[in-house]
Structure 1
Amino acid sequence: MATGADLRALREEAGISLARMAGRTHFTKSHLSMIETGKRSIAAEVISAYEQALGKPLTPPQDDPVRLAHEWLVSTSPMAVQTRSGRTVGASLASELEARVVELRHLDDTVSSEQLGPVIAKELSEAENLVRCANFTEPVGKRLFTAVGELSQLAGWVASDAGRYRQAQRLYLSGVAAANEAHDRVLGAQLLSSLSYQIANVGKPADAALLARTAVQGAQEATPVVRALFLERAAWAAAKAGKSEATWRALDQVDDSYERRGAGEPEWVYWLNRTEIDVMAGRCMIELGRPREAEPLLSAAIASYPPEHAREVALYRSWLAESYARAGDLDAAREALDSAKRYGSEMPSVRSDTRFETVEQLLST
């Protein structure tokens, strides 16, 4: 994202005075001066105004994820155009919406919740308006409602990461309603499973465990990797509730299910792999008082994790720090926590900050 100093340098390079830029952008000279000197934050519309005035992009290249999220936020989606036109929605628009959902889901790997949240909210609102107002056949409607359910899950996940737990719960439950409209029980189970994960972390673990088991039982037709994901969340809820036997049983089932993986998995489970499974196993070990067994799993997982996924690296390093702290190796814990915070600064997250506070409390006792 361009800084105020960047805006000033590019304006001066183009030979445009601050007064002329104010005239071209319709912002006041004093307002632009405060932005260029860093005294005021830069709104998206200011970036757009400078780009139009200078005739060139001011933010990173098109393949930069933050840039893509910004452009998506300020652009008009094809769904909004379709709704205004009043025409019947066809399979081509359903395909375009499905592709947009996939792209947004992958942006969540590298773009912070603060930046991505408004983009997803905008896309979800337009998709919901589309299914309310447009005309479509039953097969197209099933695809549209499925996309709304997937967007609701993603919006809920991002809201939860930002600490907006009530909003996240509302989004998850509205997604369940969309999944029901699409007759997609597996997607509905994914939304309930995601909610169980939030409740395990910030609510009553016993409630989370019940909800997680409901998701597992309610999606018997789930593919192996999806079932492994639901079982992971059941294991975590059980660990948070202090149910050791239920935790190990669920983790064994995760391994069994994942080993049966093959073709035909839904795209939304692309991220679940052996590394993620090992991280969850390590977290459960820590929660149940076995930190020394957790450390090798976490260390190996972190070593293979893409550094550009800064939020997840920060989270996983915080768990490594906790494993060291609970095992009594405080120096290693502090080193791991410092590393986690460095990654956390690259992609801020309430989830990460909460984890850092947990480990800091351990180190201060």
Structure 2
Amino acid sequence: MTTGADLRTARDAAGLSLSRMARRTHFAKSYLSMVETGKRSVAPDVVDAYEQVLGVPLRPAPSDPLRIAHEWLVSESPIVVQFRSGRRVGDSLAEELETRVIELRHLDDVVSSRDLLPAVSKELGEADRLVRSASFSEPVGQRLFKAVGELAQLAGWIASDAGRYAEAQRLYISGVDAAGEAFDRVLGAQLLSSLSYQVANVGNPRDAALLARTAVKGADGATPVVRALLLERVAWASAKAKDILGTWQALGAVNDSYERRGDDGSEPEWVYWLNRSEIDIMAGRCMIELGRPHDAEPLLSNAVANYPPDHAREVALYLSWLAESHVGAGDLDAARDAIERAQRYAAAMPSARTNDRLHTVRQML
């Protein structure tokens, strides 16, 4: 449980006075003083506000994600046990592998690419060896190849975040092959779309836009949220290529598709993270690329304010875009404040992608 003393310690460590904290959180100074000294209980919204301003998590974690990632790396997977036993692969192992993919995917929210990539690479290697040499029925094989494709997408995403772009491209392409074996065109489209996002950031944006549009075209049967995700990648690549019309058309299609989403459970698990805040963030980023920082700022501010603070990498990245919107609008004090917060989050979850962004924005200042 977070105490008032914890809040005061964190504030002091950041070098913020109580008056400045009150201004940034919009709580009365007298109220915060009573909270910090234990005269008032610590409300959840106060903790949220401190975490947002200070850029550090203040709630005790239910478990240590880094320890979990390490245990995953050194432990023996059920796939290895299956090989040792020599039994024919059935539904139970496919289900266990699917569960492990989901667990690794959610670890990516809170564990740095440097620490998580070895564990994901290990799991992918073992899963790939399984589908290439084990015996299983066709339905089970489709499930296994789908899991391999999802692991390849995750590994590619993490490798790209670590700045290992050639490795990421290789992983994405191998995942497309696995998705083909699973007869899952939508997963294949997600892998190509992920690659387009990398190309937009570090390669030729026009090539990225073509690849992203190809992914949308090929995603037969995509659910509304998945289609919204694929269209976001089109919007981003178009914005990077300075294609104004293409960007606005794609962003409009994102909103239309997302509004058609169905009940929980109708979407593939791998699109769990896409919500209205993420859509607003992408729209804001596109607006910055197209020279409209004033329009971007409210979208980014609101989304960052409501983002889970333990997702430190994403918060740092999105704060960097918020800082850039302030630079574009001429508010350099707000930009410096945002970049300082971003740097504190970045320190908690290192990322080559974040470092590049922060360097870019610092140069603007």
Give the TM bin, normalised by the shorter chain.
0.7 to 0.9
- The answer (yes or no) to whether the contact 1:341–1:356 under 8 Å persists in 2 is yes
Equivalences for residues 171-182 of structure 1 within 5 A: 171-182=171-182
Kindly indicate whether residue 349 of structure 2 is the aligned counterpart of residue 359 of structure 1: no
Any idea what the Cα deviations from partners look like across 1:180-235, whole Å, max 9, x if unmatched?
Answer: 00000000000000000000000000000000000000013100000000000000
Q: 1:87 Cα shift?
A: 1.2
Give the distance between the partners of 2:184 and 2:148, measured in 1 at CA. 12
Q: Match for 1:334 among 328, 333, 336?
A: 336
Q: 1:248 Cα shift?
A: 0.4
Aligned residue pair count: 304
Give the distance between the partners of 1:283 and 1:61, measured in 2 at CA. 31
Q: Which residue of 1 aligns with 2:319?
A: 317
Question: Which is greater in Rg?
Answer: 1
Structure 2 gaps of 5+ residues are 1-59
Q: 1:67 Cα shift?
A: 1.2
Q: Which amino acid aligns with 1:348?
A: P
Give the distance between the partners of 1:220 and 1:131, measured in 2 at CA. 25
Q: Flag the 1:245–1:325 CA change in 2: closer, same or farther, 3 A.
A: same
Q: Which residue of 1 aligns with 2:299?
A: 297
Q: Which residue of 2 aligns with 1:125?
A: 125
Q: 1:65 Cα shift?
A: 1.1
Any idea what the Cα deviations from partners look like across 1:235-283, whole Å, max 9, x if unmatched?
Answer: 0000000000000000000000000001310000000000000000000
Give the distance between the partners of 1:61 and 1:198, measured in 2 at CA. 31
Q: Higher RCO, 1 or 2 (CA under 8 Å, sep at least 6)? A: 2
Give the distance between the partners of 2:62 and 2:74, measured in 1 at CA. 14
Structure 1 gaps of 5+ residues are 1-59
Q: Which amino acid aligns with 1:130?
A: L
State the identity as a percent: 72
Q: Which residue of 2 aligns with 1:44?
A: none
Equivalences for residues 1-365 of structure 1 within 5 A: 63-263=63-263, 264-363=266-365
Q: Flag the 1:61–1:297 CA change in 2: closer, same or farther, 3 A.
A: closer
Q: Which residue of 2 aligns with 1:33?
A: none
Q: 1:327 Cα shift?
A: 1.3
Give the distance between the partners of 1:196 and 1:85, measured in 2 at CA. 41
- The answer (yes or no) to whether the contact 2:326–2:335 under 8 Å persists in 1 is yes
Q: Which amino acid aligns with 2:346?
A: G
Q: 1:177 Cα shift?
A: 0.1
TM-score by length of 2: 0.82
Give the distance between the partners of 1:104 and 1:334, measured in 2 at CA. 35
Give the distance between the partners of 2:80 and 2:129, measured in 1 at CA. 8
Give the distance between the partners of 2:61 and 2:326, measured in 1 at CA. 40
- The answer (yes or no) to whether the contact 1:62–1:68 under 8 Å persists in 2 is no
- The answer (yes or no) to whether the contact 2:323–2:338 under 8 Å persists in 1 is yes
Instruction: Indicate the SS of the match to 1:81.
Output: helix
Any idea what the Cα deviations from partners look like across 1:23-82, whole Å, max 9, x if unmatched?
Answer: xxxxxxxxxxxxxxxxxxxxxxxxxxxxxxxxxxxxx99832111111111000000111
Q: Which residue of 2 aligns with 1:13?
A: none
Q: 1:336 Cα shift?
A: 0.5
Any idea what the Cα deviations from partners look like across 1:133-174, whole Å, max 9, x if unmatched?
Answer: 110000000000000000000000000000000000000000
TM-score by length of 1: 0.82
Q: 1:84 Cα shift?
A: 2.4
- The answer (yes or no) to whether the contact 1:83–1:133 under 8 Å persists in 2 is no
Q: What's the C-alpha RMSD, in Å, of the aligned pairs? A: 1.1
Q: Which amino acid aligns with 1:80?
A: V
